[in-house]
Chain A
């Protein structure tokens, strides 16, 4: 419960229940330690390291999955009556969902890495000997990303972002004596260090103004302050500085410059990992931070500004990503811009979380949270598949450019069919999962009365068709007589399973996945209600309080909708 019970005992120690809620996080930390100890016990063996990481990832996923079904488990860890009211860590359905997706994805990327080790690349690129270090960094970044989605404390947010970023810099630089990897990691570390420094400075200003590190308390004070005298410049500056670090993780324009360079320079498993996990964690964090900070705001003007700012950022991110993808010939770089565009689509869901109708309980779940969970789940599968096909072609031909795909229909039909499924899913065509991902996103935007954002999304979908179709055209219609692609059977099977899953989420399992997303987003649903009210029994209060906000809400296109 969101009870504001304060403890009488100043030193609070977590009990067994609270620690059990953090099970998935414990499992990830234990995996890092086990990878290190495994290397001590049996020597440096890449199979052992990968095996331990796989096992740890599966264990984490299982612990998170088990949490889904716990009765009444929609609350904040540490919110039992004895616990402090301002928790450092939060465990709810939403955070468990992201931890589940991140750890499953970690296992899948480990599998991809395993295939890459067997692909016969030169030793300075695969670095089998250093697989222990690789997995410590890799699982460490997964741990950081899991922390990112389960906290509302300024200090913990910064530690989590750094915990996710620092190992990511390391694994980007993992290919030695490789010009592109060296350059990509240099750009990544400098850009990341600059934004995180600005973020920490912004956090220090927030702390100075509101005398607390708890975001919910900061949100209440911001609400009180703006209610009396409107937003101040200092408040705006410190919030923008703080959010820049999160926008960097999401690669929202104007914090996207690292993204294409890093994705092109890193090895392909790392590109896959960063393109989905890092952005999913960033979006989860951004959604939670904004929801917690603004859930008490009652001034419609302020809400409108914040909402409009994020909507404009989402629209620019999306359009910029799609337009820049046009002239790319390197497929990793092309998909990097595509991932910027998809981050833009997902940011659109963040832009409408204030819509007051969303606070009512007659909706199955908050539409924008649910749309985000659905989108990320589908995006995980289709992006993994697309990068998987690119990896299989790269391991066979040594090329990552679009030319390497010329005539793929003749050279390897299964890969071509799978790739076409992923590409059309990335565009958002039925009957692929990407269609329903976009559908629920547009539905949330429609419910949120932002018609202009819907138009931006549809327009972007149309122009993105061009560059995705360019790859399909190269595969099917352009044949310049390159030799057959000899992809390993296991790799082909993995890609095929991915394609089937993408097809299933677009057809038979679409309803199931929607239910899954609805259920997972209920946990966060509670916090967009006013904190001092009971989350389950306040329908009446919410409705009353929100009438005037409905009239004032939509930034631009509300009247068109009516």
Chain B
């Protein structure tokens, strides 16, 4: 039996990826692991946007939004990784739990 792929399939996929992303952000202690979780959530949002744009709205808003989100994700990753490098150069680790000098 061949299922016709509809809006709900995309939404389930997106919700799944979102949950995986949140799980990843919550459990990883490595900064890059957390960043991967962020990217997963952004991609889940992208799937949502494109699916909604195709099935519901009928105008291209969501597609354009998704392009901007891809761009944002790239910019954010570039900056975040530069900051991770800086952190690594000073503290020789990217374990976020090791950054514990600022507290109180």
Are the C-beta atoms of A193 and B87 separated by less than 8 Å?
Answer: no
Interface residues as binary, B60-88 with A (CB distance below 8 Å gives 1, 0 otherwise): 01101100110010011001101110110
20 contacts between A and B (CB under 8 A): A154-B65, A155-B65, A155-B68, A176-B86, A180-B102, A182-B87, A183-B102, A186-B31, A197-B42, A200-B45, A201-B44, A203-B65, A204-B45, A204-B48, A204-B62, A205-B48, A207-B61, A208-B48, A327-B104, A328-B104
A378 located at the interface, meaning its Cβ lies under 8 Å from any Cβ of chain B in the complex = no
- The SS class assigned to the A binding surface is helix
Contacts of B38 in A (CB 8 A): 193-194, 197
Q: Indicate which residue in A173, A190, A201 contacts B45 across the interface (CB closer than 8 Å).
A: A201
* A175-208 residues at the B interface, CB under 8 angstroms: 176-180, 182-187, 189-190, 193-194, 196-198, 200-201, 203-205, 207-208
Q: Which of A97-105, A257-265, A523-531, A532-540 contacts B (4 or more CB under 8 A)?
A: A257-265
CB distance from B15 to the nearest CB of A (A): 10
**Interface core residue of A179, A186, A204 (most chain B CB under 10 Å):** A204
Are the C-beta atoms of B102 and A260 separated by less than 8 Å?
Answer: yes
Interface residues as binary, A115-151 with B (CB distance below 8 Å gives 1, 0 otherwise): 0000000000000000000000000000000000000
Q: A193 to B34, alpha carbons, bound, how many Å?
A: 9
Q: A179 to B42, alpha carbons, bound, how many Å?
A: 30
Q: A260 to B90, alpha carbons, bound, how many Å?
A: 21
Please, which residue of chain A has its CB at the minimum distance from the CB of B40? A197
Given A182-B99, A204-B52, A260-B104, list of 20 further CB < 8 A pairs?
A154-B65, A155-B65, A155-B68, A162-B76, A169-B80, A186-B83, A186-B96, A187-B99, A193-B76, A194-B37, A196-B76, A197-B41, A201-B18, A203-B45, A204-B48, A207-B52, A207-B65, A208-B48, A211-B58, A265-B102
CB distance from A414 to the nearest CB of B (A): 31
Q: A126 to B48, alpha carbons, bound, how many Å?
A: 45
Contacts of B89 in A (CB 8 A): 177, 182
Q: A469 to B75, alpha carbons, bound, how many Å?
A: 44
- With A155-B64, A177-B90 as known contacts, state yes or no: A186 contacts B72, CB within 8 Å: no
* B18-61 residues at the A interface, CB under 8 angstroms: 18, 21, 25, 31, 34-35, 37-38, 41-42, 44-46, 48-49, 51-53, 56-58, 61
CB distance from A122 to the nearest CB of B (A): 15
- With A185-B86, A328-B104 as known contacts, state yes or no: A190 contacts B96, CB within 8 Å: yes
- The SS class assigned to the B binding surface is helix
**How many residues on the B side are at the interface (Cβ–Cβ under 8 A)?**
48
B91 located at the interface, meaning its Cβ lies under 8 Å from any Cβ of chain A in the complex = yes
Contacts of A197 in B (CB 8 A): 21, 38, 41-42, 45
Q: A186 to B46, alpha carbons, bound, how many Å?
A: 25
Q: A169 to B90, alpha carbons, bound, how many Å?
A: 17
Please, which residue of chain A has its CB at the minimum distance from the CB of B64? A155
Contacts of A198 in B (CB 8 A): 41
- With A159-B72, A177-B90 as known contacts, state yes or no: A189 contacts B57, CB within 8 Å: no
Q: A190 to B101, alpha carbons, bound, how many Å?
A: 17
CB distance from A225 to the nearest CB of B (A): 15
A158 located at the interface, meaning its Cβ lies under 8 Å from any Cβ of chain B in the complex = yes
- With A186-B96, A194-B34 as known contacts, state yes or no: A200 contacts B69, CB within 8 Å: yes
Are the C-beta atoms of A207 and B57 separated by less than 8 Å?
Answer: yes
Q: A197 to B37, alpha carbons, bound, how many Å?
A: 9
Contacts of B84 in A (CB 8 A): 186
Q: Indicate which residue in A159, A182, A185, A333 contacts B104 across the interface (CB closer than 8 Å).
A: A333
Please, which residue of chain A has its CB at the minimum distance from the CB of B72? A162
**Interface core residue of A187, A201, A212, A264 (most chain B CB under 10 Å):** A201
Q: A193 to B64, alpha carbons, bound, how many Å?
A: 21
Contacts of A158 in B (CB 8 A): 68-69, 72
**Interface core residue of A159, A186, A265, A333 (most chain B CB under 10 Å):** A186
A170 located at the interface, meaning its Cβ lies under 8 Å from any Cβ of chain B in the complex = yes
**Interface core residue of A170, A177, A187 (most chain B CB under 10 Å):** A187
Are the C-beta atoms of B99 and A183 separated by less than 8 Å?
Answer: yes
CB distance from A252 to the nearest CB of B (A): 20
Q: A208 to B47, alpha carbons, bound, how many Å?
A: 11
Q: A279 to B99, alpha carbons, bound, how many Å?
A: 25
CB distance from A196 to the nearest CB of B (A): 7
Please, which residue of chain A has its CB at the minimum distance from the CB of B99? A183
Please, which residue of chain A has its CB at the minimum distance from the CB of B11? A208
Q: A190 to B34, alpha carbons, bound, how many Å?
A: 7
CB distance from A231 to the nearest CB of B (A): 20
Q: A64 to B5, alpha carbons, bound, how many Å?
A: 51
CB distance from B36 to the nearest CB of A (A): 11
- With A186-B96, A194-B34, A207-B52 as known contacts, state yes or no: A162 contacts B75, CB within 8 Å: yes
A166 located at the interface, meaning its Cβ lies under 8 Å from any Cβ of chain B in the complex = yes
Q: A85 to B43, alpha carbons, bound, how many Å?
A: 30
Q: A414 to B97, alpha carbons, bound, how many Å?
A: 43
Please, which residue of chain A has its CB at the minimum distance from the CB of B50? A204
Q: Indicate which residue in B57, B96, B99 contacts A211 across the interface (CB closer than 8 Å).
A: B57
Q: A155 to B34, alpha carbons, bound, how many Å?
A: 24
Contacts of A159 in B (CB 8 A): 68, 72
Contacts of B65 in A (CB 8 A): 154-155, 203-204, 207, 213
Please, which residue of chain B has its CB at the minimum distance from the CB of A161? B72
Q: Indicate which residue in B34, B61, B96 contacts A212 across the interface (CB closer than 8 Å).
A: B61
CB distance from B90 to the nearest CB of A (A): 4
